[in-house]
Structure 1
Amino acid sequence: MKIHTLIVDDDPHWRLVFEKFAGVNPLIEVVGSCDSAVEAYGLLMEKEIDLLICDIEMPEMSGLEFVKSLKSPPLVIFVTAHRDYALDCYEVAPIDFLLKPSDLPRFLKAIEKVRLHLDTAPETSAISPYFFIRDSNGYVQVRYNDILYMEAKNNTIHIVAKDDTYTPTLTLSKLEEKLKSDIFLRVHRSFLVHREAIARINKNEIVLTDGTEIPIGDQYRNKINQKHIESYRVLRG
């Protein structure tokens, strides 16, 4: 199997770097290297592309705008010199982010994610929804299904997952808007919970599968009843 790869970056230095990195992995076949989204679009129309290694900050059209414009984009690894794009890119579900200056081991790790995805049988290849959170070393991928709840504290969110806790600096409302998903249920002005993590709903609190108790806000009580109880209730107690 060859991973037909297109590299898009307006910086010739980084195009050369990624071409050299790609040459180390025998699975990768670079079928094009271009400096703009316009040129890349033309190559996508002409060639079969499995993977797009794409810079985000480019003139005329950003890498993010370019990928969003594609009806059926290939797998995408975004490249950026800035750390603040991860949440904005969740809609296009990139395989990974590479933070400049990137090195060969980190590049090969991203390619391994691509290989694993392409090796997955079509009937099981659907990716569980996820988003990226910035940390000191780059970006951490957080799967929706690993999250138990999210709590707003001052200007920070505590995203409590099964094995870790993340604290990005943004508001809960902003995150809720970005996620645009029924997977999470707003139960209090300071709490979003994963609906599948709910074990019990009491009068004033929700009990999660790990035993955590989350308060129910008065203004959210009716919404919880309508969205999470009434639609799934089978038997009356």
Structure 2
Amino acid sequence: MKKDLAHIRCIFVDDEPIGLSVLLAHASRVPILNVLGSFFSGAEALAFIKNNPVDLIFLDIQMPDLSGLELARILSPSVHIVFTTAHPRYAVEEFDLAATDYLLKPIGLGRFLQTTDRITAQFSKVVNGLKPCDYIFVKTGYDWARIDLDLLLYIEADRNYLTFHTSGRKVLTRMKLAEIFEKLPREAFMQIHKSFVISISKIDKIERHQITLADRVLPLSATFRDDLLTRLG
């Protein structure tokens, strides 16, 4: 069913009442957000999502029963996630989960509006039937190289460098793995190891601790295995 840009269905999850009330107050200033509910625990939110379609979730990271990171790994890739936290050390891990944005508490209205503007732009492309960009450009030395996403097999990280492996070449760029998720369509790519992101459609075989694609064997971390099988299921 086609999304209605006038109503982005969202929920808020935070175990701190004050933090939750601030976010709800901000949301009341954004007519496009259709707030379906707010929850003090990840478990409550998960139960709701299983029975109600949700487009967007504002999700606190540190919660006692089910953390935001744990909940994010369970959710469908179609659900956009904005993490909220008072701890900036979580930034890298949450972007590894391809979150739409990351809000550091205390969250001001201006910063909240920046996030909702970005989300509105993304949903607008879906509503208007625009095709997501099928290529990206990355800087390599003094030049910029085009990477066609339909030819991209996987991305390999080594400290501050990434190597893009396509069916015909390799491209090396100075970039961290967390940064590339800003450019990739999250429904087509996923992380399988601390050093590897793969194109899901290029998978040939999945074994307990490794994945084969295009005759290349890559390690599969237990951290990401369940998420991969859920995505494919």
Q: TM above 0.5, one fold? A: yes
The yes-or-no answer on 1:121 pairing with 2:126 is yes
Number of aligned residues: 157
Once the two structures are superposed, the pairs formed by residues 53-202 of structure 1 within 5 Å of their partners are: 53-121=58-126, 124=130, 126=132, 145=136, 147-149=138-140, 173-174=158-159, 182=165
* Alpha-carbon distance, 1:101 to partner: 0.9
The answer (yes or no) to whether the contact 2:125–2:131 under 8 Å persists in 1 is yes
Supply the distance in 1 between the matched residues of 2:133 and 2:63 (Cα, whole angstroms). 28
Taking a change above 3 Å as real, the CA distance of residues 58 and 40 of structure 1, as seen in their structure-2 partners, is: same
> 1:184-231: CA deviations, max 9, x gaps?
9586xxx758xxxxxxxxxxxxxxxxxxxxxxxxxxxxxxxxx9xxxx
Supply the distance in 2 between the matched residues of 1:53 and 1:128 (Cα, whole angstroms). 28
Supply the distance in 2 between the matched residues of 1:102 and 1:51 (Cα, whole angstroms). 17
The answer (yes or no) to whether the contact 1:56–1:80 under 8 Å persists in 2 is yes
Q: Percentage identity across aligned positions? A: 27
RMSD between aligned residues: 3.4
* Alpha-carbon distance, 1:91 to partner: 3.8
Supply the distance in 2 between the matched residues of 1:174 and 1:102 (Cα, whole angstroms). 31
* Alpha-carbon distance, 1:116 to partner: 0.7
Q: Which runs of 5+ in 2 are unaligned?
A: 1-5, 145-156, 176-215, 217-233
Structure index of larger Rg: 1
The structure whose RCO (Cα within 8 Å, separation 6+) is larger is: 2
Equivalent in the alignment of 1:17: 22
Q: Which runs of 5+ in 1 are unaligned?
A: 130-144, 151-159, 163-171, 194-226, 228-237
> 1:6-47: CA deviations, max 9, x gaps?
000111111100000000111112111001110000110222
**TM-score, reference length from structure 1:** 0.56
Amino acid at match of 1:173: D
* Alpha-carbon distance, 1:49 to partner: 1.0
Supply the distance in 1 between the matched residues of 2:40 and 2:49 (Cα, whole angstroms). 14
The answer (yes or no) to whether the contact 2:13–2:38 under 8 Å persists in 1 is yes
The yes-or-no answer on 1:42 pairing with 2:33 is no
Taking a change above 3 Å as real, the CA distance of residues 111 and 185 of structure 1, as seen in their structure-2 partners, is: same
The answer (yes or no) to whether the contact 1:75–1:94 under 8 Å persists in 2 is yes
Secondary structure, counterpart of 1:84 in structure 2: helix
Supply the distance in 2 between the matched residues of 1:73 and 1:181 (Cα, whole angstroms). 25
* Alpha-carbon distance, 1:3 to partner: 1.3
Supply the distance in 1 between the matched residues of 2:117 and 2:80 (Cα, whole angstroms). 13
